[in-house]
Chains A and B, each alone.
Chain A
Amino acid sequence: MTLPSIEVHGLTKRFGSFTALDKLDLKLEGGKCVGFLGPNGAGKTTTLKMLTDMIFPTEGECFLNGISVQRERKRAMESAGVLIESPEIYPSLTATQALRMVAELRNMSREEQNARIPAILEEVKMADWADQKVGKYSKGMKQRLNIAAALVPDPEIVILDEPATGLDPRGMAEVRSIVRDLKKHDRLIFMSSHILAEVTDVCDEVALINHGKLLFYDTLDNVTARFSSGQSSMDASFAHPVSEETLRGKLDGNPDLVKYEQLDPRRFRLSFKGGLPAQGRLLRQLSGEELELVSFQESKSVLEEIYLSQIEKGD
């Protein structure tokens, strides 16, 4: 059995004199989730649109499971479920009718449709709205239905462009849960996102793009090992105002502490080396009765730190 794959070769897109994407080469293979990161205008959506033949490359070519999207759109797209730019569905259709349309366009039998569509609507928490017209849906509900539409054909490849856009925090958590479930079926998921916590949570690998150029593509572990400064940063909050002198006195002699800054009278940001063991030592030092520590949380995730440093470097 061949593994699902997405390949792009020398993919370039120019809009007049502006180069949105510059000779992108990328090969994703196997059942996994790859997060596609980058700031606004970096070229993420442009890449995904060319992967699905919504826009045309100035140079280069894209392949889904080895089939050229530019030369054989229909055949290439058969293996893919796609959600790009929060699409709209004909407002007079119900959720069930919209998914039936997708199923029929993909030549699914009536039996398959009857089994799969209610299950998918259940999965995206839209079962109660199955027979309501799409025109009445909120933005979040439409997005769930779009995710459902991408999953109707049980695709080997899933391409998602910021799937949590427009969803409330509960909806975002549900999308994460859906994406995690998708991974169980050996699918290749390529997902662009602004939400680093979402990528850290569900993705195995990450590709970072800026100004149309790929900065890196690797597993999350390798990316952390390659680019992390080795420093962690925690925000400590206290029940009462704490002076800098008091904190300095409390942490005096801690070999892991690199620096600290006072965010407000009750909060400090502490940067330290040494990973989790050092974090534990720091917490023990702060948690005595004297200071009344009330919270101790990560101020930036490792991925966020890497993201910001790499983007700044590129700028």
Chain B
Amino acid sequence: MPSWKQALTLAQYQLRDYVFSRRFILMMALVAIIGAILTAVVGYFRPAAFLESSGAFYAIFWGGGVTVVIVFAGVIFGGDAIAGEFQNKTGYFLMGQPIRRATVYVGKYLAAFVAAFTAVVFFAVLLLGNGAYYFGAGAFTATFLASFVLAIVYLLALLGATFLFSSLFKTSTYATLVVAVLFLFGFMLIQDLISGLVHTTPWYILTYADSIIGGIFNTSCASSPGTHTCTMPGPGGGFTQTVTNATIPEGVGIMLAYFVITSVLGLVSFEREEFS
């Protein structure tokens, strides 16, 4: 049987395991909670920054929310994907079959991707519902579609990195913790330190690239792709600051590079890991 077909078979059964597990319900609940909080805040306070245009609405609501959803999805579906095969001993079941390790890795990646993609689509549906309420038919823009595609590229990259960390550990808890800390706080902290203290562009950090998901809507100087001198609000009329965001090609390039490099490293790590 060709390996690609085995990968699809494994992905199908792994996905079934995800869908009927608590983690899938937890993920969907998290998306619903994030969506509900944002819906309630916008609905109650009606902040002008959100509602001045559909672009501004998406840049903040979608651009800010979907990256959090993707990080949660990565942690929940990818954090223990490989480490769990060792710790839970499910790997011993799979490795008893005539299947390459790379096929197991790819099959599990596909399943995690589809499960996480479902969560992203759910969030997009919640968001579009809000958009339709505030902006009517004008809510469904081509820019939103482009941003959605960028979010999926980010998901590919984040899952790639998550799988790499997962393949470096044999304990699910360590793997999940490292992924959660890195993507929820670590990378952003490093990024802020580098750009704030060393004044260089942290182009090699994945969270630097994810700004293009909201930035593509081009609604504010500070968040638009590229380098700009922006006037920031502050006492006495504010101040000017040079802001550097990833351009769309840069962002896509960084994300794809992350996806390819972490996938290769993760695969190599899994190929060398022993079920001992």
Contacts and interface: CB of A to CB of B under 8 A. Distances in A.
Interface of A: 15, 49, 52-56, 73-78, 80-93, 97, 101-102, 104-107, 133, 146, 149-150
B53 interface: no
Interface residues of B, number: 30
Interface in B1-52: 1, 3, 5-6, 9-10, 13-14, 16-21
Given A49-B275, A55-B275, A92-B21, A77 B16 contact: no
B274 A101 contact: no
Contact of A54 (B5, B90, B92, B98): B92
A77 B275 contact: no
Contact of A75 (B6, B16, B88, B98): B98
7 contacts: A54-B275, A85-B89, A89-B93, A92-B19, A93-B13, A93-B16, A102-B97
A76 B98 CA distance: 7
A214 B208 CA distance: 58
B1 A106 contact: yes
Given A54-B274, A92-B20, A97-B13, A86 B89 contact: yes
Interface of B: 1, 3, 5-6, 9-10, 13-14, 16-21, 88-93, 95-101, 274-276
A93 B93 CA distance: 13
Contact of A93 (B9, B17, B89, B92): B17
Contacts of B88: 88
Given A91-B21, A149-B96, 19 more contacts: A49-B274, A49-B275, A49-B276, A53-B95, A55-B275, A73-B98, A77-B96, A78-B98, A80-B98, A83-B96, A86-B89, A86-B92, A90-B16, A101-B10, A102-B97, A105-B6, A106-B1, A106-B97, A133-B20
A280 to B, nearest CB: 48
Nearest to A15: B276
Nearest to B91: A87
B118 to A, nearest CB: 16
A107 B1 contact: yes
B98 A149 contact: no
A101 B97 CA distance: 10
A79 B9 CA distance: 20
